[in-house]
A and B are shown apart, each in its own frame.
Chain A
Amino acid sequence: MKKTEFLTGSFIALTLVVLLGVFFFQALFQPSYEGKVMPIDNVNLKDRVSLHYVLKNVNDASKYLATNGMRYFNNRSSVPSKTITFGKTKNLEEGSANEVTSIVVNYRGFDTLGEVTVLFISIIGLTMLIGGVKEKKLRMPSVIVRTGSKFLFPFILLFGVYIFIHGHLTPGGGFPGGAVIASGFLLLLLGLENFKFNTTVSKVIESLAGVTFVGIGLVGLFMKNSFLANFIPTGTIGFLYSAGMVALIYIVVGIKVGAELSTGVAELKEGNKND
């Protein structure tokens, strides 16, 4: 009885999945849509909104749209732009060499504030729910793990800090850097059995970092009339001291995410004491 029920259930699920798959793939191989050829393999960046993010002329583009109206959509390329050279071009409207960072932190900085808030809430939920789960005795770690974790921890911390300080120049940024720092703390928690992670201190650090993020946004509001607007000169593209507040915000996000994920990992290992 149970077996046949399971089999019929699987069969129905498989039929559903196959039907959905046929639907997906016929959409992929449809040659045209409303008379236009689907640009699956010959996408041009000039047809995309990201053109202005890449060329860093978003303000010019919005001015152009305000004066020319709908004509903008057919000739995006006529918005004034200049050639950007690594290490030479100065005082762009946004100065980070990493385009993804420029979108995440500068053009869509408010999005990132929301994202950090979601992570914060999920870690709060984790801390609340984990209460009552008692700590299990773990097996004692071997000598290699004990010495290795002590030896490696400062280097992991340094690597995490390097990743989030160079977030506007290289791949990475606040979130990967924070995750690396949390992995260093995880190594300590697993390697040293009498290592106590102080969650109160980490929560204070995390809250201060969050307040600093909002504070930077408010400074932008008072100086440039827009929340999270860039109020520091952007400098030369490709240098460490460039990109204005992008580097500042990524440092704050790195500290916040590192403290947050370390708290989560420590709570998962130790359970909650105030149960």
Chain B
Amino acid sequence: MISSIFFYSTAFVLFLIGLFGVLTRKNIIKILVSLSITETAVNLFLVTVGYIKNGKAPILTNTIGSIGMNNLKFVDPLPQALVLTAIVIGLGTTALSLVIAIKLYKNYGTLNITKMGGKR
């Protein structure tokens, strides 16, 4: 069984990679990719908070049979529900920001944020 410290560390490293990308890149598309990486890191962190050792996916099936107070076999389903919401909202924001990037490219003829602004 993998310790959840591994998942926490992966989430932190992904978050820092995304932050570094947002801070240093000049290309809008690359900034958006970095933002998506950060988002994935936060989602992974939230799912890891609900991780329980030897826990199964929180879906009652024929093989799991029954659950009760004395045989709780599941991981925590609440963070997974929150992440489901976060993924959909991430999709919406990514689509909107990509359209804004298209408009900026049409307007200035470049995706480099340092060359934007001023005269057309």
User: Which residues of A approach B to under 8 Å, CB–CB?
Assistant: 9-10, 13-14, 16-17, 20-21, 24-25, 28, 40-46, 48-51, 53-55, 77, 81-88, 97-100, 102-104, 108, 111-112, 115, 118-119, 121-123, 125-126, 129-130, 132-133, 169-171, 173, 175, 237-238, 264, 268
Contact = CB atoms under 8 A, between A and B. Distances in A.
Contacts of A53: 77-78
Nearest to A105: B81
B88 A115 contact: yes
Contacts, number: 160
Contacts of A97: 59-61
B95 interface: yes
Given A100-B81, A103-B81, A83 B68 contact: yes
A41 B3 contact: yes
A205 to B, nearest CB: 19
Contacts of A45: 52, 55, 72, 74, 76
B20 to A, nearest CB: 5
B106 to A, nearest CB: 6
Contacts of B27: none
A45 to B, nearest CB: 5
Nearest to A104: B81
Contact of B9 (A16, A28, A87): A28
Given A20-B16, A125-B99, 6 more contacts: A17-B16, A21-B12, A28-B9, A83-B67, A111-B85, A170-B59
A146 B20 CA distance: 42
A200 B58 CA distance: 39
Contacts of A175: 84, 87-88
Most buried by A among B9, B15, B19, B78: B78
Interface string B21-47: 001100000000000000000000000
Interface residues of B, number: 52
Contacts of B60: 84, 86, 97-99, 237-238
A41 B77 contact: no
List the 3 shortest-distance A-B pairs measured between CB atoms, nearest first: A122-B92, A83-B68, A13-B23
A145 B32 CA distance: 30
A104 to B, nearest CB: 5
Contact of A129 (B12, B16, B99): B99
A271 to B, nearest CB: 10
Contact of B102 (A51, A118, A133): A133
A170 B89 CA distance: 22
B23 A103 contact: no
Given A20-B16, A99-B74, A55 B68 contact: yes
A16 B67 CA distance: 47
Contacts of B95: 122-123, 126, 264
A99 B99 CA distance: 36
Nearest to A76: B69
Contacts of A121: 92
B118 interface: no
A84 B67 CA distance: 5
Interface string B54-86: 010111111011111100101011101100110
Nearest to B11: A24
A96 to B, nearest CB: 9
Interface string B1-21: 001110011001101100110
Given A100-B58, A171-B59, A40 B8 contact: yes
A223 B73 CA distance: 35
